[in-house]
Amino acid sequence: MQRTPFRGFFRTGFALPAAVVASVVLGTTASAAVPAAVSHGAPVGTRAPSARGCAIVYFDLGETLVHTAADSGISYLPGAAAYLRALRERHIKVGLITNVPSSWGTTDAERAAALKKEVDGAWKGPAPFAWKDFGDRILTPRTEAERKPAPALWKRAKAAAHGCRLVYEGETAKETYVAASLGYVAYRVGRPFGPAYLPVRVIESLTYGSHRRA
């Protein structure tokens, strides 16, 4: 198996002007994406069950959910494990859209298995990474041309969403910009002002604007 330094395949080096970033992070997530009729303070149980839909939250991996240390050890970023747990408790599905070498396998399942082996082999955290939460929703490039920020992986996730609302959380402005342009609620993590991740209550509110298809 080809071994590639995590710092290389987990990160991308793009930047956009601050005004563009603000429109993606603030405009898309804070105003356009959250239905005005949803009260964030209302308990979930008080909302009409018939309106319930679904949302799927896709993440980048490196420097979004996990951090690669100087010694190549990998562990959760602060708050990431608790955030995944909160989504799990609310039955909100999660997935990964992440760059790995296309040579790692001929299918998403093969490349995901190789990714798991790499991450688990360098893992330094007290609890293992929550791979079970992601199921078969780990999308990786089939060719080098599909590597993010090319839109292919987001399009593949969207085609399999069955009407669920889609969220993408990542650490680079370029990736959140591309995801937002494809209809995702895009949130850039790791910024000095604002929540570390898109608040769970906001994601819950998005489920009421979805139209699940069988």
What is the spatial distance between Cα 109 and Cα 134, in angstroms, rounded to a whole number? Answer: 12
Confidence at residue 125, expressed as pLDDT on a 0 to 100 scale: 84
| Contact indicator for 2, 101 with CB cutoff of 8 Å | yes
Neighbour tally for 74: CB within 10 Å: 22
Mean pLDDT score, 126-149: 97
Q: Span 35-64, mean pLDDT?
A: 61
Give the per-residue pLDDT at 52: 64
8 Å CB contact between 147 and 60: no
Tell me how far apart the alpha carbons of residues 135 and 84 are, in angstroms, rounded to a whole number: 13
Question: What H or E segment, with its residue span, contains residue 93?
Answer: strand 93-97
Over residues 102-112, the mean pLDDT reads 97
pLDDT given for residue 7 in this prediction: 43
The percentage of residues in the chain with a pLDDT greater than 90, rounded to a whole number, is 67
* The dihedral formed by the CA atoms of 101, 107, 108 and 113, expressed in degrees to the nearest 10: -80
Torsions phi, psi of 20, nearest 5? Answer: -70, -45
Sorted by where each starts, the structural domains of the chain and their CATH numbers stand as 51-207 (3.40.50.1000)
- Per-residue confidence (pLDDT) for residue 28, from 0 to 100: 41
Q: Is the peptide bond before 78 cis (omega within 30 degrees of 0)?
A: no
Q: 137 falls in which pLDDT band (50, 70, 90)?
A: very high
Query: Is 105:150 a contact under the CB 8 Å cutoff?
Result: no
Show the tokens assigned to 99: 């760059």
Write the pLDDT tens digit of every residue in 68-92.
988 889 999 999 999 999 999 999 9
Name the residue with higher pLDDT: 102 or 13.
102
> Within its chain, how far is the Cα of 23 from the centroid?
19
Q: Cα separation of 161 and 55, whole Å?
A: 9
Higher pLDDT, 40 or 84: 84
Q: Flag whether pLDDT at 177 surpasses 60.
A: yes
Mean pLDDT of the chain: 81
pLDDT for 208 equals 80
Q: What is the pLDDT of residue 14?
A: 31
pLDDT of residue 53: 84
Q: Are 115 and 98 in contact (CB under 8 A)?
A: yes
Q: Whole-angstrom Cα distance, residue 182 to residue 136?
A: 22
pLDDT at residue 140, as a whole number:
98
